[in-house]
Amino acid sequence: MIDVNKFDSMQIGLASSDKIRSWSYGEVKKPETINYRTLKPEKDGLFDERIFGPTKDWECACGKYKKVSYKGVVCDRCGVEVTRAKVRRERMGHIELAAPVTHIWYFKGIPSRMGLVLDMSPRALEEIIYFASYVVTDGGDTPLERKQLLTEREYREKREEYGDGFKAAMGAEAIRTLLRDVDLERECAELKEELKEATGQKRTRAVRRLDILEAFLNSGNHADWMVMDAIPVIPPDLRPMVQLEGGRFATSDLNDLYRRVINRNNRLKRLLDLNAPGIIVQNEKRMLQEAVDALIDNGRRGRPVTGPGNRPLKSLSHMLKGKQGRFRQNLLGKRVDYSGRSVIDVGPKLKLNQMGIPHEMALELFKPFMMRELTKRGMASNIKNAKRKIDRRDDDIWDVLEDVIKEHPVLLNRAPTLHRLGIQAFEPTLVDGKAMRLHPLACEAYNADFDGDQMAIHVPLSDEAQAEARLLMLAAHHILAPKDGKPIISPSQDMTIGNYYITIEEKDREGEGMIFKDVNEVRTAYQNNYVHLHTRIGLQASSLAAKGTPFTDWQKDRILVTTAGKAIFNEILPEDFPYLNEPTTENLSGKTPDKYFLEPGQDIHEYLAEADLVAPFKSGFLSDIIAQVYKDYKVTATAELLDRMKDLGYYESTKSGLTVGIADVTDLDEKPEIVERAHKEVAAVAKQFRRGLITEDERYNRVIAIWNKAKDDIQAKLVEKMDPSNPIQMMSDSGARGNISNFTQLAGMRGLMAAPNGKTMELPVIANFREGLSVMEMFISTHGARKGMTDTALKTADSGYLTRRLVDVAQDVIIRETDCGTDRGLDVTAIREGNEMIEPLYDRILGRYTMKAVKHPETGEVIVPADVMIDETMAQQVVEAGVEMVTIRSAFTCNTRHGVCEHCYGRNMATGDEVEVGEAVGTVAAQSIGEPGTQLTMRTFHTGGVAGDDITQGLPRVQEIFEARNPKGRATITEVTGVIQSVEENPAERTKEVTVQGETDTRTYSLPFTSVLKVKEGDYVHRGEALTVGSIDPKELIKVRDVLSTENYILREVQKVYRMQGVEISDKHVEVMARQMLRKVRIMDPGDTNMLPGTLMDINDFKDNNVDTLINGGIPATARPVLLGITKASLETNSFLSAASFQETTRVLTDAAIRGKNDPLIGLKENVIIGKIIPAGTGMKKYRDIVPEEVGAASDSVYSISDVEKSLEAKEAMAAVKADDEN
C-alpha cells in the first residue's frame, strides 16, 4: 500500500486498453455470479475467486490450503491464491470486447470532446457510433471526402460506383480510425494560424478545439484511448451480493449492468465465429455499445436501463455523483468508531468544561481503555477476562470507569453543525439515566434546547488528539463567536432574570440606609431578613479595597452606596475587577463613579432621598461583563465567572419566586378610545377615495399607516403604564424572554396581518390575546402563523446550501505566512445608507493592521503608527479624534498565494489574539456568513405601489451577490466621470434620458420611466456610480472600475443585508469570500505566451507565465479580471478532486482526465478525500513532526495542589531511580 501522507500530488488521465489489462487479475468470461446451491462463486464469472481472490481469509476455494502459513501459495487444484479476503476490495478484472466501443463521457459530454478533436458534430458522431451511417475514413482517389457521412443506401451506390477505391466504416471502429489519423501537432499549428484572422462563432470554436487538442498533446493521452477494447471490472466487494432471509439475493445494480455487457459480448463473439450476416453483427455491436454506455453512465443517452419495478439502475457515474455518491458520502463524510448519540438534558450543576455521560455509554465508548486499566490493576488476568468482566457489568468496574474517563476529553457535536462551535470538547463526568447532560451555557453555541434534541459524542483516541481536544477545543475556549468576536456564551432565561433580580434597586425597602462593614455582614443581615436584596445600603469601601477592588485613594476611605443584591453580585467577579454599581461602560472599564460615595459626615438617608434609582443589570450588560473579563483575564477566569454567574442566576431566580399569571396582563383603559379614533380616520380616508380625491394605492397606504399608528400608540401607552415590578415586564426588560411586541399582543392589540399574497391586509386584529380573538380575527391570523413555520423550514435548507457553496469556494484559504509585504491597502470609512449608519468605523478597523499611520485630522499627531494591530483603545481614540478614513491591511490586497498572511487578516475573532499561521480562515469565513443565514428574512421587499422594481433583501440578496447574478431592480451606472448635463423625460417612449458630460466623451442613458433617479442636473458623478435607485450589477462595475472597487462594493452590500437584520459579521470574512470570486482572469491577447485567448486562468499562474515570457524577451499576455459566482469559482478551482466532490462530478472528471490534470493537494477537501492530514492547523508542515509529551494533569486548565505535589514526588522518584542506575 502507498502511504497516503508521503505523496504530494495526484494525477488523473485516460486509461488505454493496455493499461486496463495491466490492472486486471484475469478476464471475466461468463455472466454468472454465484452458484445458488453451494453459494460459491462461479468460475470465470463476476465473482470468480481465481481472479479476485479468496472469499475467506487464508483459504483457497477447494479447501486444500487452509492456514496463514500457506500465504501466497496458488492452489494447484482450484487456482486460487491463499491470501486475505480483503483483496476482493482491490483486485480488478476485465472484459475483452469483441468489438471496440466508445466511452460515453467523451462522446456525450458538453462540449463533446470527441466532436472537438474530430471537428464533427455530436449528431454525426451519434449516427456513426450507433450504426446509422457510414463514415468515409479514407477517400482514396474518389471525390468522397474524409469524414463524409453516407447512409446505408448511399454507401451501396458508392461501392458499386467506385469499388474498393475508398474506405468507409461505422461504429466505434470507424471513430477509432479517424482519431488515430488526427495529427495533433499539425492541427494545432493550423488552428493557431486560423485564430489570427477568425472572429465571432468561428473563433470561439477554434479556441475550444485548440484547447482540447493541446490538452491531448501536453498530457500524453492518446485521442484513440477514448475508444475502448477492454473494460475494467471493479472488485466484487465493491458491488456485493448478499443473501436475504427467505433465500433471495440482493445484488448491486452494477452486477446486472456487467452481466448485460458480458452476455452481449459473448453473443457477438459467437456471431463473429459463425460469420453471421453483417446486419446481425452490426445490431449486436450496437447493443454492446449501448450496454457499455449504460454501465458507465446509465440514462445519459436514450432511456435508462431499468431493473425490477421500473427503477433505473445505478451505473458507475451514479456511484460518484451527488450526496449519496462516493465523494460526498464516503470520502468527505466517514462514520467513525468510538462514537455514540443520545438525547441531551440540562446539567445545571456542571462546570463549563464538563458534560454528563451515562454509565452505559461511557462503558461502551471507553471499553478498550477499561480493559487495559483492569488488566493493569490486576483485576483481570488478561484482556479476554477484562472484556468478560465488562460484559457481565461486575460491580467493581464502575470505580475504574470513573478513573478512566477522568482527564480524557470527549467531543460533542450537534447537527446541523453550522459553525466551528458545533463541535466542542468537554471533560466527561458519569451521570445516571440514559441522557447526556449538557451545560446550559453551551446551548447557544450549539443552538440546542432540551425538547428532545440529540447529540453525537466522539472519543479522541491518540495522545495528540486528546491534547488538541483539550488545548484547542475545550468549551472554555469557545467563549467568543468567530463571526464577530462577541461572547456567544452569555446567561439566558432563568440565569438572566436571577442576575437582573438581584441587582434591582427599590425605594424604602426594609433596612434602607443601614451601613455595613463588609459583604459578609450584608449577607448575614440578608439571611436574617434585616435587609432585602433590593435595599439600598452603605458599605465600607475599604473592606472591598482590601480584597483588591480598584478604588481611587479618594474612594477608599468612604462609604459606598449600593444595594445588598449588588454587593452579593460583585462577589462573583474577579477580585481586582471594578465594583459594578451601574450598567455603564464607564463603570465596566475600570472605575466606580464617584457619585456613589458619601462625603465625610453626609447622612445616608438624605443622600438616598435625593438619589435616583439605578437600573438593574440586563442581559446585554451581563454579556459586556463577560467580554471585559475575557479581554482582561483570558480563558480560565472567564469560565469560572460564567459558572458563578450561572449558579447565582439559578439560585436567585428561584428565590425571587417570580410567577406569571393572567392577572399580570393588565387592561389598557385608553384602548377603546384609540381604536375608535382609528376607525373614524379610516372612514374619512374611504370617503376621500369615493369622491375620487385619492387613488386606490394612496387609500391603501393611508389605511395601513392609520392602523400601524394606532398599534404604536397603544404600545407606547402600555410601556408608559408598565409597573417595573410586574413579572412579565421584568422578564422582557431583563432580556430573559420575550419583548415589548409580545406584550402588546397580550395586552394591547395584535394589529395588521399579512395576506397570503404577501401584502398587508387592511383589516386589523383589534383584540389582544387576553380578551380573545373573534373567529374572523383568528382566521386572519392563521396565514401568518403557518407562513412562519414553512419559511423557517425552507430558510434552513437554503442557508445550508449557501454555506456549502461558500465553504467550497474558500476551503483552501489558510493563513500561510506572517507578512506578505504588500504595499497596497484598503481605505475604509463607516458604511452608511442615506442617514442610517450600517457599520461604524470602529467595527471596521478593530483588530486590523494599519497600512499607513493614522493621524489626528486637526493636530496631525500620529494616533496609530503604520503596521500595528488596532485594539479597542486605539480604535476608540481614532473615532474620538474624528478620523473619517483609515487605510488598513486587507485580504483584498494580500499577496499570499492560496491564502492570506497574518497581517492582512489581523485578529482571530474567536480568540481575540492575532491569527496564527495554519488557521483555516476560509472555512471560518464561510461558516460565519452561512450560520446567521437562517436569521435572515426570506422575503423580497415590496416597495409598495409602482415606484421602481422590487429590491431583493435577506437571504436571496446574499445569494444574488455571491453568485454574481444579475440583481433584481438593477441600477444603471455611469461609465464616465463628469457632470450630469441634463435629465429629460420622454413620455412618448416612456423613458427618462440622463446625459453625463465627461472630460473626453458624453454619454446619454435611456432609463425606464418608472425608475427612481439618484442624481439631478449639475451633480458630479464618478464612473461606476449608480444613476438610479437599485442594486449595481458587480459584473458591470468591474468593467467600468477596478477589482478593488468591485470587492469593496460586494463587501458593503453583504454587510448591508446582515446589519439591517441586526446580525454583526466581521468585514474580514466577507473579504475572504469576495477575494475568492476574483481570483481568475480572462486572457485577451496571449502575446508570446502559450495561453489561449478567451480562456480563464488563475491570476497567480497568469503572472508567473508573464514573468517567464518577459525574462525570455517575449511579449507578455494581457488579460482582464473576471468576477465569478461562488459555484462557478468552486468548479474552476485548480483541484479536480475538490471540484468533482462539489458539483457536476462527471463533467469535472472528464475534463481533468483529458488534460491529465495534477492535483497539488493544497486545499482541505482534496486532502480529506485521499485521507491525508489536512494542511491547516496542526496539520501544517510547520507543526507536523512535534511529538506530544505528557507534562501533567490539567483539569479545567487549572492545576490542583495535589497534582503538583504528585508530579514533584514522581520527578524526585525518577531522579532517584536514575541516580541508582548510574551508580
What is the architecture, at CATH level 2, of domain 814-919?
Alpha-Beta Complex (3.90)
Average pLDDT, the chain: 89
The closest alpha carbon to 478, from 988, 18, 921, 910, belongs to: 910
Is 894 flagged in the annotation as binding? yes
Mean pLDDT computed over 1026-1050: 91
Which residues partner with 994 through β-bridges? 983, 1005
Predicted confidence (pLDDT) per residue in 256-282, tens digit: 999 999 999 999 999 999 999 999 999
Q: What pLDDT is stored for residue 1192 in this prediction?
A: 52
The pLDDT tens digits for 425-451 are 999 999 999 999 999 999 989 999 999
Q: Write down the architecture of domain 493-656 according to CATH.
A: Orthogonal Bundle (1.10)
User: Residue 624 annotated as binding?
Assistant: no
User: pLDDT grade, residue 1003 (50/70/90)?
Assistant: confident
- What value does the mean pLDDT take over residues 741-761? 84
> Buried b vs exposed e over 883-896: b needs ≥16 C-beta within 10 Å?
beebbbbbbbbbeb
Q: What's the pLDDT tens digit per position in 325-367? A: 888 888 788 889 999 999 999 999 999 999 999 999 999 999 9
- Residue 1026 in contact with residue 996, Cβ under 8 Å? no
Domain 331-477 and domain 493-656, same fold? Reply is no
Does domain 662-753 fall under CATH 1.10.132.30? My reply is yes
Q: Is 443 annotated as a binding residue?
A: no
Is 75 among the annotated ligand-binding positions? yes
Find the range with the poorest average confidence among 337-341, 459-463, 833-837, 1036-1040.
833-837
Q: Where are the beta strands (DSSP E) in 12-127?
A: 24-27, 92-102
Residue 62 in marked binding region: yes
Across residues 125-142, what is the average pLDDT?
92
Is the pLDDT at 23 greater than 70, yes or no?
yes
Residue 109: pLDDT band (50, 70, 90) is confident
Residues 6+ apart with CB under 8 A from 966: 1033, 1035
**DSSP, residue by residue, 356-413:** EEEHHHHHHHTHHHHHHHHHHTTSSSSHHHHHHHHHHT-TTHHHHHHHHHTT--EEEE
Residue 293's pLDDT is what? 96
pLDDT range class, residue 1184, cuts 50, 70, 90: confident
Judged against a pLDDT cut of 70, whether residue 1214 lies above it is answered with no
The confidence score (pLDDT) of residue 1035 equals: 92
CA distance linking residue 799 with residue 955, whole number of Å: 7
Q: What is the pLDDT of residues 1074-1103, one digit of tens each?
A: 999 999 999 998 888 888 888 899 999 999
**What fold characterizes domain 331-477?**
Barwin-like endoglucanases (2.40.40)
Residue where the block lists cell 451581563: 622
Contact at 8 Å (CB) between 767 and 774? Answer: yes
pTM: 0.85
Alpha-carbon torsion 12, 17, 18, 22, what sign? positive
Q: For residue 1203, what pLDDT is reported?
A: 52
- List the domain boundaries for the chain: 331-477, 493-656, 662-753, 814-919
CA-atom Rg of the chain in angstroms: 38
* Residue 451 in marked binding region: yes
In one-letter notation, the amino acid at residue 535 is T
Grid cell in block for residue 930: 452561512
901 in a known ligand binding site = yes
Q: Determine the Cα–Cα distance for residues 753 and 741; give it in Å rounded to an integer.
A: 14
pLDDT value of position 943: 35
Q: Helices (H), strands (E): how many in the chain?
A: 45, 36
Q: How confident is the model at residue 1132 (pLDDT cuts 50, 70, 90)?
A: confident
What the block records as the C-alpha cell of 572 is 462573583
